[in-house]
Amino acid sequence: MIEEDFYATIKLKTGEEIYSKVAASSEEDKTFLLLNNPIIVEELTGRSGNVMGYKFEPWLKTTTEDMFIIDIEDVLTMTESCDVDMISTYQKYVREKLNIKNDEYKLDRKMGYIANINDAKDVLEKLFKRS
């Protein structure tokens, strides 16, 4: 049985703090959490120590999967998020992540100058000789 999705901050027993869209699932006598696009949120502070913004990163960086299952036994605490700004920022991050996956290998002139190997080699050799 899978419960309705909700947004939550999860603190794991390992010390990791995750923000994700979550659904709880019970099987026999165990409860699992289904995490959809879990992220780590890092505060970005200025020189004065004030919070200037937040940096979102994927929870697991070496996979392209977007759904993960964790045992509720591995969770230290969890709180449902009702922060509209955080939810909308998370949703924007997920949409952009999906767009990057879909357009990952499409090159165009907007990305910068596209050169052939010989031209690029000549330019780099000239820069190296000048330095």
pLDDT in tens, 53-87: 888 899 998 888 889 999 999 999 999 999 898 89
**How many other CB atoms are there within 10 angstroms of residue 45's CB atom?**
11
Mean pLDDT of 27-55: 88
Report yes or no: 38 and 59 within 8 Å, Cβ to Cβ: yes
Its CATH architecture, for the domain 6-130, is Roll (2.30)
Domain boundaries, the chain: 6-130
Spatial separation of the C-alpha atoms in residues 74 and 7, rounded to whole Å: 18
pTM above 0.85, yes or no: no
